[in-house]
């Protein structure tokens, strides 16, 4: 019995021992499997990022959607997939952008307002909805940066806005013959789709959906000046009120932005001072372009420097002007300013009186002008959307205007809203550009002054711009409003274009037509941003990229004059956009820029 018991115990012990071994073995197997799984998962993640991206969803575009299909950011490491503003850093800005869009969508649902356009860039998990789950994914990446290269792209941030699949743009050197071009097309199996004569560029279909490698090869061809992917711009600006900003489109702002490359990448901001009612620093669509260091409330005594910085806009007029010149563009909110990148310096000089009206007493104006004068080295353009009719001079204001003009500050003022033939003061000062307002018909607004004296017309009717939200009385309360016809708005338009002009003008421009304070008239004399800026863009006339408009540049145009067989669009410099021929007018335009140094 005892033997049996002992035998049983031995067997039981052995079984238990084996059972432990089995358990341990099982744990080991599971652990190993998990490790193998994790390792393989990691490898698959890396594989996704190191493989060349293609048009995964066959939508004709290569963008973040494709990247997120290859490498879902919620399960794999893919910083570029969540870098929604393409600045290579995942930070709170990315979170805010998606959060704000998600909030807007929620608000729209609640109020049944028109739904904002779906934005795939913000749809981090590719589930066709931008909501808080996308925000949550981005938060997991905070602090990370986008490494180069990835997805077979030297700059994976090209995916943020995307580019067309199977598509490439080749710009040839001026001397490239048609035969040489055809040879390049054949070598890379490219099919021309369209040619852009004015920029000597051909758009072609490629066999590969991602043309990065081909792009590098083509760049080595001796007749090619540049080759690039067909990047995808968003619809000019995604500011929801863009379609209502008729003035921008009338003065050819879209062409100016993109043709003259003034879309917010100017290294040095042009600075525009606005003497007005102040500006709303808390406005969601304006704050980014309001100066953080320069502003002035002229009512406050200099012994209170902090209070001097209070330019709170109780009236809204100054905020409106600031919005025309520099509301934040392409931020999916509000309106688009004329400038993507500008520093607006508000000077509050108008205050409410006992009747509830806003007025700008001359002493306040003296303080404002003196402040501008003292800060002239930090000011490029001065907008004066105010005036007094029947006055032609004030010795002190004239003194400041003379001095500011001497220092190169562009002076812009409203002609007045009394339907007079003359302009108000200071618009009628000879050193100031007097601006009358025009409507949709490009003619004077009925109430515009300066009908026989204004230097230029600019859009001033039915202009939509920023207002402090507590003054926004319309149904949306979205911080933007329309204003009726006024030369104030028109002056702001000219100031905005003057700022754009400064952004592309050559360094130290002294020649009259390059100073940005004369505005080329068009049609009824209405402002035309593209025409104005086209002629001051130094690089356009420096065809050999020597940094100077030299004798080669002027001779290349002049020698082609009156010789159709030598026509090349690059040298068709007059009128704006070219007229298909090169003659003495082109030669004159070119020679008038001789010797200018480009930045």
Partner 1 sequence: MRLKYPRICLPNKAFKKGGVVFGLFQVKLAFVLISLSILAFLVNPKVALGQTAQPNIFFLKSFYLSYPGGYPVTTQVKLSNFTDPDGLGAFIFKVKYDPNFVSITDDNGDGVADSGKVTPGVFLGSTGKQVECSDGFIDPDNTDSTKKLLTFSCVTIGLTPAAPTGGGYLAYINFTTKNRLGNTTLTFSSTELADNTIDVNLVPHTTSGFQLIITKCGDFDRNGSVNLDDIFDVAYRYGATSANPGWNPVYDMDGNGTITLDDIFNTAYQYGPTPCAAFT
Binding residues (CB under 8 A) for partner 1: these are: 507-508, 510-512, 515, 550-552, 554-563, 566, 584, 587-588, 590-592, 594-597
Closer residue to partner 1, CB minimum distance, 389 or 408? 408
**Smallest distance, Å, CB 536 to partner 1?**
13
Closer residue to partner 1, CB minimum distance, 284 or 567? 567
**Smallest distance, Å, CB 312 to partner 1?**
40
Closer residue to partner 1, CB minimum distance, 23 or 552? 552
Closer residue to partner 1, CB minimum distance, 465 or 590? 590
Give the CA distances from residue 200 to residues 182, 197, 206, 212, 217, in Å, rounded to whole numbers and listed in that order: 14, 5, 19, 21, 20
Question: At residue 276, what are phi and psi to the nearest 5 degrees?
Answer: -165, -140
**Smallest distance, Å, CB 172 to partner 1?**
17
**Smallest distance, Å, CB 430 to partner 1?**
10
**Smallest distance, Å, CB 592 to partner 1?**
5
Closer residue to partner 1, CB minimum distance, 97 or 516? 516
- For residues 456 and 439, give the distance between their C-alpha atoms in angstroms, rounded to a whole number: 13
**Smallest distance, Å, CB 376 to partner 1?**
17
- For residues 348 and 203, give the distance between their C-alpha atoms in angstroms, rounded to a whole number: 51
Integer Rg of the chain from CA: 31
Residues 170-206: b if buried by 16+ CB within 10 A, e if exposed: bebeeebeeebbeebeeebebeeeeeeeeebbbbbeb
**Smallest distance, Å, CB 513 to partner 1?**
9
Closer residue to partner 1, CB minimum distance, 149 or 595? 595
What are the residue ranges of helices labelled H in 131-277?
132-139, 158-161, 178-187, 212-219, 246-250, 253-259
Q: Give the three-state DSSP class for 436.
A: strand
For the purposes of burial, counting CB atoms within 10 Å of the CB of 151, is it exposed (0-12), middle (13-18) or buried (19 or more)?
buried
CA 510 to chain centre: 28
| Torsion sign (Cα): 40, 41, 47, 53 | positive
Give the CA distances from residue 554 to residues 417, 513, 543, 550, in Å, rounded to whole numbers and listed in that order: 45, 17, 9, 7
Number of Cβ within a 10 Å radius of residue 23: 10
**Smallest distance, Å, CB 410 to partner 1?**
14
Closer residue to partner 1, CB minimum distance, 182 or 594? 594
| Torsion sign (Cα): 539, 542, 544, 546 | negative
Closer residue to partner 1, CB minimum distance, 75 or 562? 562
**Smallest distance, Å, CB 549 to partner 1?**
9
- For residues 350 and 46, give the distance between their C-alpha atoms in angstroms, rounded to a whole number: 61
Task: Tell me if 244 sits within 8 A of 478, measured CB to CB.
Answer: no
Task: Tell me if 506 sits within 8 A of 598, measured CB to CB.
Answer: yes
Closer residue to partner 1, CB minimum distance, 16 or 584? 584
**Smallest distance, Å, CB 509 to partner 1?**
8
DSSP bridge partners of 203: 169, 194
Q: What is the DSSP string of 288-350?
A: GGB-SS--EETTS-TT-HHHHT----SSSHHHHHHHHHHPPPSSSSS---S-SSEEEEEEE--
Closer residue to partner 1, CB minimum distance, 2 or 512? 512
Q: Using alpha carbons, select from 418, 296, 393 the residue that is nearest to residue 350.
A: 296
Q: In 471-585, which ranges are E strands?
A: 480-483
**Smallest distance, Å, CB 404 to partner 1?**
14
Closer residue to partner 1, CB minimum distance, 108 or 552? 552
């Amino acid at each position: 019995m005892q033997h049996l018991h002992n035998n049983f115990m031995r067997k039981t012990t052995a079984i238990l021992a084996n059972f432990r071994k089995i358990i341990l073995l099982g744990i080991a197997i599971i652990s190993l499997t998990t490790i193998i799984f994790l390792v393989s998962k990691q490898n698959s993640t890396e594989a996704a990022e190191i493989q060349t991206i293609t048009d995964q969803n066959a939508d004709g575009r290569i963008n973040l959607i494709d990247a997120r299909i290859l490498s879902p950011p919620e399960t794999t490491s893919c910083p570029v997939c969540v870098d929604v503003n393409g600045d290579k850093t995942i930070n709170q800005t990315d979170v805010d952008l998606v959060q704000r869009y998600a909030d807007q969508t929620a608000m729209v649902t609640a109020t049944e307002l028109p739904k904002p356009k779906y934005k795939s860039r913000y749809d981090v998990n590719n589930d066709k909805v931008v909501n808080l789950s996308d925000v949550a994914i981005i938060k997991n990446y905070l602090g990370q940066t986008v490494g180069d290269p990835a997805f077979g792209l030297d700059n994976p941030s090209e995916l943020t806005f995307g580019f067309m699949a199977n598509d490439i743009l080749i710009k040839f050197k001026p001397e490239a013959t048609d035969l040489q071009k055809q040879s390049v097309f054949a070598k890379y199996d490219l099919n021309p789709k369209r040619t852009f004569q004015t920029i000597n560029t051909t758009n072609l279909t490629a066999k590969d959906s991602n043309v990065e490698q081909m792009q590098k090869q083509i760049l080595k061809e001796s007749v090619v000046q540049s080759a690039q992917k067909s990047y995808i711009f968003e619809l000019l600006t995604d500011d929801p009120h863009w379609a209502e900003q008729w003035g921008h489109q009338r003065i050819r702002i879209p062409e100016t932005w993109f043709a003259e490359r003034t879309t917010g990448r100017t290294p040095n901001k042009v600075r525009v001072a606005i003497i007005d009612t102040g500006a709303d620093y808390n406005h969601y669509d304006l704050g980014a372009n309001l100066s953080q260091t320069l502003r002035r409330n002229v009512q406050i005594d200099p012994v209170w420097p902090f209070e001097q910085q209070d330019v709170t806009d109780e009236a809204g007029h100054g905020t409106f002007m600031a919005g025309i010149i520099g509301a934040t563009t392409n931020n999916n909110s509000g309106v688009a300013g004329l400038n993507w990148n500008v520093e607006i310096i508000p000077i509050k000089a108008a205050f409410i009186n006992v009747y509830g009206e806003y007025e700008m007493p001359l002493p306040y104006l003296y303080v404002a002008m003196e402040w501008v004068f003292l800060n002239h080295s930090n000011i490029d353009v001065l907008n004066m959307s105010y005036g007094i009719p029947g006055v032609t001079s004030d010795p002190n204001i004239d003194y400041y205007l003379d001095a500011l003009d001497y220092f190169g500050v562009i002076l812009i003022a409203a002609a007045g809203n009394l339907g007079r033939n003359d302009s108000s003061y200071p618009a009628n000062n000879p050193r100031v550009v007097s601006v009358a307002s025009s409507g949709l018909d490009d003619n004077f607004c009925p109430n515009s002054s300066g009908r026989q004296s204004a230097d230029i017309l600019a859009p001033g009717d039915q202009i939509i711009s920023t207002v402090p939200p507590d003054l926004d009385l319309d149904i949306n309360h979205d911080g933007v409003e329309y204003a009726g016809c006024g030369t104030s708005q028109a002056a702001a338009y000219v100031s905005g274009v003057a700022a754009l002009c400064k952004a592309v003008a050559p360094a130290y421009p002294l020649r009259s037509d390059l100073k940005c304070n004369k505005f080329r008239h068009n049609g009824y004399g209405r402002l035309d941003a593209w025409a104005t800026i086209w002629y001051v863009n130094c690089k356009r006339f420096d065809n050999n990229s020597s940094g100077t408009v030299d004798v080669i540049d002027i001779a290349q145009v002049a020698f082609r004059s009156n010789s159709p067989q030598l026509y090349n669009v690059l040298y068709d410099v007059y009128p704006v956009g070219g007229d298909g021929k090169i003659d003495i007018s082109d030669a004159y335009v070119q020679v008038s820029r001789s010797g200018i140094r480009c930045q």
